[in-house]
Structure 1
Amino acid sequence: MSQNSTNLSNFVWQIANDLWGDFKHTDFARIILPLLLLRRIECVLDDTKESVLKVYNQEKDSGVDMELFLPTYSKYPFFNTSNYNLETIGATETLANLENYISHFSQNIRTIFEEFGFANTIVELDRAKLLFRITKSFSTLPLGKEDISDRDISNAYEEIIRRFAASINEKAGEFMSPSDITALATHAVIAPDEEIFSESGVIRTVYDGACGIGGFLSDAISLITELSPVNSPVTVIPYGQELDPRTHAMALTSMLIRDYDEKNIKQGSTLSDDKLPNEHFHYQLYNPPFGKKWEKDQAFVIKEHKNLGYAGRFGPGLPRVSDGSMLFLLHAVSKMESPEKGGGRIGIVLSGSPLFTGDAGSGESEIRRWLMEKDYVEAIFALPTDMFFNTGIGTYIWILTNKKSEERKGKVQLINLANTWTHMRKNEGTKRRFISKEQIDNVMRDYEAFEEKDNIKIFDNAAFAYRKIHVKRPLRAKLVVSAGKISTLEEVNAFAKLSPAQQTAWSDFFTHSIGEHAYDWIQDNGKLNNNKDGFSKVGKPLLTAFTNHFMERDEAMEPVLDSKGDVVVDTTLNDTESVPYNESISEYFGREVLPHVSDAFIDHSVRDAKDGEVGIVGYEINFNRYFYEYKGHRQLKDIDAELLACENRIRVMLEEVAE
């Protein structure tokens, strides 16, 4: 960061000290960031302010649309028609004058202040008798074009947000992606296209469907600019969408400061209100919230899934409602630019859940299946733990594309970075580690080399697939009608639903049938039909309930057969087996199952909905299995030594307390 950026960041941080006591530190960003934006805008508009006011006063009653007219005179896509600025709003009537000042900005600027909730904020500052003091401090800040470059103020803005994020431990991770994670993901997505950037007239679109404050977009813009030639820079067009209005306002601010069209940064739910439904992008970068429910979007998402199928975003399947991160994954894939127009590449940060949650046939498994069968997954990076501000869980970066190189087609590269990290000098919430620039460079070299190492493995797509077959066993049992079982008939749900008269009749019947013809009666489905005594022909549910109640398993018995002579299944012994996709089911079954349960058999009626073969196809990616390293048991003497040392430390502390 340049000296200008550092000075600005430190200056703003000092202003924050005035807020202590009257405001919580969690409020600082919503106060300072819009004021910083306000000062920057008034500085860049300063040279044209007089001409804008002159034209405005001449034409304000003419009916001309000032939103279209005045940007020509302001030289920017925004303007202000108030006679006030931060220096002249005065020590008296400060609130009213500031409100007047803000209300005379163009609509795009007013939208940002509305999303910040700035109208309420300045009222709070006024009540705390801090409004004039804070605005006066900002009025002295030199933020004109001649004072500080767009890049410097952008860097300072991002640094300020990072510093505030670090102070808001429990909330930081909701709107901040650590810079080292964004750097790694951005390099993995964009760097492979470096050759393309050398061509003249290249245009590249970048999109983040969960853009937060716009960190991924800023990093992508910077990297593309860095990789493109000076004499023929790539034209970058950023797009984004963010749910939270205040966070969206931060992203808008970032784009305005960098002179990008803020209209491309949308506000709303990406899942249920896609504001860019017909757009496709060359690069996409996401860090959607981990483990966040999508129940508020559920009705819309389910409707799109059912009505549009694969023509929509969610055709492959829907994950459980407790975690919507895989919906963002599907959304991103639907937004990839077509290969004919340069193709698309995606980097998305996810928890471990999307790798393995969900059994064969579940929504999660079907999504993984579709991604693999379409050959979209290029690589997955397993990150170290303790990398985020508000969670220490293991996280992963998925890299997806529809334009794999020839050597990567049909394959997935797994890169384990669990041991690739550097200690932070000072923890920021739960973030205790980071990946240094040098480490990122090394990781990228390994990624691009596409060769196996201790921490890198390459698999065929089908290696993650399996068939889940249903294994059954015959019922070996006999019917035993006893006084003890009759006394517990009320525990049978079907029996409990009978009338008292019917219950008495059935209890008496079984009592008089002990050791006689109860077995035959049950097998014959009940021949009695005497409604006067509470009897009637037994329906199938009641018959099944009685049979199960009086049945006792006996492995010495032959398998029970039904009326058609087919084996009755003992449902309590139902099991499943996951057979590797490329392995013969019969060979696997003969090797892994029959030696242990010789009467087991495969339920051939359970078949995959897509290929019709026996068993249901599932996909999972188990990093622990692929990179597991066995470590032997620790020696008892070592454990004893540690326990003794611990006891000694405790004894010393107790002695100090006693003194």
Structure 2
Amino acid sequence: MNQQNLSAFIWSVADLLRGDYKQSDYGKVILPFTVLRRLDCVLEATKQVVLDEYKEKMEMGINPDPFLLRKSGQSFYNTSPLDMKKLMGDQDHINENLYSYVQAFSPAVRDIFESFEFHTQIERLQKAGLLYQVTEKFSQVDLHPEIVDNHQMGLVFEELIRKFAEISNETAGEHFTPREVIRLMVNLLFIEDDEVLSKPGVVRTIYDPTAGTGGMLSVAGEYLEEHNPKARLTVFGQELNAESYAICKADMLIKGQDVANISLGNTLSDDGHQHKHFDYMLSNPPFGVEWKKVEKEIRKEHEQQGYNGRFGPGLPRVSDGSMLFLLHLIAKMRPASEGGSRFGIVLNGSPLFTGGAGSGESEIRRYVIENDLLEAIVGLPTDMFYNTGISTYVWIVSNRKPESRKSKVQLIDASDMWQKMRKSLGSKRKELSEEHIAEVTRLFGSFMEDEKNGKPISRIVHNNDFGFRTITVERPLRDENGNILLGQKGKLKGKPQPDPSLRDTENVPLDEDVEAFFKLEVLPHVPDAWIDHDKTKVGYEIPFNRCFYVFQQPRQLKEIDDDLIAVTERIKGMLEGLKA
């Protein structure tokens, strides 16, 4: 059964729920039942040997847990003699039996169903007279990994969540990232480490602070499995949405990961992995979402812990918290002396330029660039995400840059690398093909300036080129007769008083001399001006689009005149024809 047919089958359960459930509540039933059937199928082959082992160890008074895990061949087990097909044999007691079956799972699985609030749904379905029918529907579909592999199952979950988000007017993009975008990010994350990652027995950690359903962690694991089956990737994550967390945890459980590494909660206000550092990290934080709810905790950490905490460099405006995740990931980097880290994060355009010199956003950019952490930024096409059509950018950040990349940033314009989707999914109308992913990966790997059809697609920019000084230009305050008023006390005593209404600012590139700029650009226009050096601030912005601007020579005036004459003559001829 392919993914679309499987999604359609599971979605057909909605027909049973219609009337008794609001559309926006369908996911509360369908998602946990899908997970339950998946786990049910995974344990099917070892069911009897686990039950026999459980009985034996209980009679001996021995903790059965490690033995049952070994017998099940998974990182979870179930000690109930029931399974979903056997539940069908007792319609009158489906409620109690289903609940006892779920309770017989190992603790990690029970936590998943608690996150789904599954017991509440069992009772609600029972009262509506639907529990047996819904359970029967799911017992008929085979979700064994040999029939539906882990990658396909992940896509099924994402498709279901997208549909539920659409009908309940939620933001689908907050739950997951398109798989081809993740593949690109994973390629960029690992490409410089292919040699290290190909060594037998290598163990690395990867972390996603906005894990969603676990798509990024899964694709990273698939990449490493493909390139080096003997390597081991230990995954860590945190997710705010309880349903997404439950699916992520179930997915990791089936893949043999330690699900204790997946935390539930708000990453910014309640870090589930305090004091931990990771080799690799990936994140697609929500775009343009305010952080007012957790403002108190974040400001407290910023003010009390400074650079010993996560938010030392500065705080962005409350209306968009995406740069807080950037700082959070930087704080999670393994020290360079211990091998360092690399991470990829998806951001919208605002973090490139929002905020003037001295603002929280500018200070965060300053910290990232002056510490030489930014390796590359890839500009993606518009209409790539399910919930927004805006331009998005992948930042690659590392504290272990290769020598050739030090003090430089690579900008890659992939905005024209896309193919139209056969069917739009929300705001997503475009996708990256395998060829596009390979092309961006090649550009990043070669670390060279490049162009296509005469248009630049890769630029190498020195760190200093992003910096500037904002100088404050003052002009004297004058009386009604035009005489300059002098200060009477303090540091302005005997000096011209500044006129606030004439005050202006100028941005001077870091590599330019401020005094030379002032003499050349300001004094010829306002000879009485001066610089208030106490107000000078250093700022950073990344003018991504400007770096790819190509000047086009205007057409010659004679050529334009000739065109106008030709058009005029044509119009005259048409008018003459109408008269005739």
Q: How high is the TM-score relative to the length of structure 1?
A: 0.77
Work out whether residues 343 and 397 of structure 2, in 8 Å CA contact, stay in contact via their aligned partners in 1: yes
Kindly indicate whether residue 552 of structure 2 is the aligned counterpart of residue 627 of structure 1: no
Following the alignment from structure 1 to structure 2, what is the Cα–Cα distance between the partners of residues 616 and 390?
A: 37
SS in 2 for 1:93: helix
| 1:233-273 alpha-carbon deviations (Å, 9 max, x no partner) | 21111111111111111110110121211111111111121
With 58-67 and 570-579 compared, the bigger mean Cα shift is at: 58-67
Aligned to 1:323: 320
Aligned to 2:486: 561
| 1:600-653 alpha-carbon deviations (Å, 9 max, x no partner) | 1101222xxxxxxxx2110001123222346779x9999xx9xxxxxxxxxxxx
Which structure: larger Rg? 1
Alpha-carbon spacing, 1:227–1:26, altered in 2? closer, same or farther (3 Å):
farther
Alpha-carbon spacing, 1:52–1:419, altered in 2? closer, same or farther (3 Å):
closer
Alpha-carbon spacing, 1:28–1:342, altered in 2? closer, same or farther (3 Å):
farther
Following the alignment from structure 2 to structure 1, what is the Cα–Cα distance between the partners of residues 534 and 336?
A: 41
SS in 2 for 1:370: helix
Alignment of 1:245-264 (within 5 A): 245-264=242-261
Aligned match of 1:460 in 456, 462, 472? 462
Shift of 1:35: 1.6
SS in 1 for 2:218: helix
Aligned to 2:475: 473
| 1:75-127 alpha-carbon deviations (Å, 9 max, x no partner) | 43323233432223332232222122212222211110111122222333334
Following the alignment from structure 1 to structure 2, what is the Cα–Cα distance between the partners of residues 204 and 192?
A: 14
Amino acid at match of 1:470: T
Aligned to 1:129: 129
Kindly indicate whether residue 507 of structure 2 is the aligned counterpart of residue 578 of structure 1: yes
Alignment of 1:83-482 (within 5 A): 83-89=81-87, 90-144=90-144, 147-148=146-147, 152-167=148-163, 168-169=165-166, 170=169, 171-228=171-228, 230=229, 233-453=230-450, 454-478=456-480
Work out whether residues 78 and 104 of structure 2, in 8 Å CA contact, stay in contact via their aligned partners in 1: yes
Shift of 1:68: 5.7
Shift of 1:458: 0.9
Following the alignment from structure 2 to structure 1, what is the Cα–Cα distance between the partners of residues 49 and 403?
A: 59
Following the alignment from structure 1 to structure 2, what is the Cα–Cα distance between the partners of residues 318 and 341?
A: 28
Matched residue count:
544
Aligned match of 1:603 in 532, 550, 556? 532
| 1:481-514 alpha-carbon deviations (Å, 9 max, x no partner) | xxxxxxxxxxxxxxxxxxxxxxxxxxxxxxxxxx
Amino acid at match of 1:569: P
Amino acid at match of 2:324: L
Shift of 1:325: 1.0
Following the alignment from structure 1 to structure 2, what is the Cα–Cα distance between the partners of residues 4 and 289?
A: 30
Aligned match of 1:616 in 519, 537, 559? 537
With 292-301 and 208-217 compared, the bigger mean Cα shift is at: 292-301
SS in 2 for 1:326: helix
Kindly indicate whether residue 38 of structure 2 is the aligned counterpart of residue 36 of structure 1: no
Identity %: 44
Amino acid at match of 2:150: S
Alpha-carbon spacing, 1:59–1:359, altered in 2? closer, same or farther (3 Å):
same
Alpha-carbon spacing, 1:237–1:19, altered in 2? closer, same or farther (3 Å):
same
Work out whether residues 203 and 237 of structure 1, in 8 Å CA contact, stay in contact via their aligned partners in 2: yes
Q: CA RMSD in A?
A: 2.7
Aligned to 1:525: none
Following the alignment from structure 2 to structure 1, what is the Cα–Cα distance between the partners of residues 539 and 29?
A: 50
Following the alignment from structure 2 to structure 1, what is the Cα–Cα distance between the partners of residues 102 and 270?
A: 30
Aligned to 2:521: 592
With 556-565 and 259-268 compared, the bigger mean Cα shift is at: 556-565
Work out whether residues 75 and 256 of structure 2, in 8 Å CA contact, stay in contact via their aligned partners in 1: no
Work out whether residues 3 and 156 of structure 2, in 8 Å CA contact, stay in contact via their aligned partners in 1: no
Following the alignment from structure 1 to structure 2, what is the Cα–Cα distance between the partners of residues 413 and 260?
A: 35
Following the alignment from structure 1 to structure 2, what is the Cα–Cα distance between the partners of residues 219 and 22?
A: 37
Following the alignment from structure 1 to structure 2, what is the Cα–Cα distance between the partners of residues 593 and 234?
A: 61
Aligned to 2:578: none
SS in 1 for 2:149: helix
Shift of 1:308: 2.3
| 1:387-440 alpha-carbon deviations (Å, 9 max, x no partner) | 111111111100011111111110001111222211111111111111111111
Shift of 1:62: 8.9
Work out whether residues 29 and 161 of structure 1, in 8 Å CA contact, stay in contact via their aligned partners in 2: no
| 1:132-169 alpha-carbon deviations (Å, 9 max, x no partner) | 12211222333446x44xxx431222121232244333
Following the alignment from structure 1 to structure 2, what is the Cα–Cα distance between the partners of residues 66 and 198?
A: 37
Following the alignment from structure 2 to structure 1, what is the Cα–Cα distance between the partners of residues 341 and 85?
A: 48
Amino acid at match of 1:207: Y
Following the alignment from structure 2 to structure 1, what is the Cα–Cα distance between the partners of residues 2 and 507?
A: 60
Alpha-carbon spacing, 1:127–1:629, altered in 2? closer, same or farther (3 Å):
farther
Following the alignment from structure 1 to structure 2, what is the Cα–Cα distance between the partners of residues 591 and 48?
A: 81
SS in 2 for 1:380: strand
SS in 2 for 1:101: helix
| 1:199-221 alpha-carbon deviations (Å, 9 max, x no partner) | 22211111101111111001111
Work out whether residues 378 and 393 of structure 2, in 8 Å CA contact, stay in contact via their aligned partners in 1: yes
Amino acid at match of 1:593: V
Shift of 1:362: 1.3
Work out whether residues 316 and 367 of structure 1, in 8 Å CA contact, stay in contact via their aligned partners in 2: yes
Following the alignment from structure 1 to structure 2, what is the Cα–Cα distance between the partners of residues 366 and 404?
A: 22
Following the alignment from structure 1 to structure 2, what is the Cα–Cα distance between the partners of residues 132 and 245?
A: 26
Amino acid at match of 2:425: E
Following the alignment from structure 1 to structure 2, what is the Cα–Cα distance between the partners of residues 295 and 67?
A: 44
Following the alignment from structure 1 to structure 2, what is the Cα–Cα distance between the partners of residues 277 and 383?
A: 32
Following the alignment from structure 2 to structure 1, what is the Cα–Cα distance between the partners of residues 139 and 433?
A: 38
Structure 1 unmatched ranges of 5 or more: 479-555, 607-614, 642-659
Structure 2 unmatched ranges of 5 or more: 451-455, 568-580
SS in 1 for 2:368: helix
Amino acid at match of 1:177: T
Work out whether residues 75 and 257 of structure 2, in 8 Å CA contact, stay in contact via their aligned partners in 1: no
Alpha-carbon spacing, 1:566–1:62, altered in 2? closer, same or farther (3 Å):
farther
Work out whether residues 9 and 156 of structure 1, in 8 Å CA contact, stay in contact via their aligned partners in 2: no
Amino acid at match of 2:343: I
Work out whether residues 5 and 155 of structure 1, in 8 Å CA contact, stay in contact via their aligned partners in 2: no
Amino acid at match of 2:537: I
Alpha-carbon spacing, 1:56–1:445, altered in 2? closer, same or farther (3 Å):
closer
Work out whether residues 471 and 575 of structure 1, in 8 Å CA contact, stay in contact via their aligned partners in 2: yes
Aligned to 1:550: none
Work out whether residues 468 and 508 of structure 2, in 8 Å CA contact, stay in contact via their aligned partners in 1: yes
Following the alignment from structure 2 to structure 1, what is the Cα–Cα distance between the partners of residues 507 and 341?
A: 34
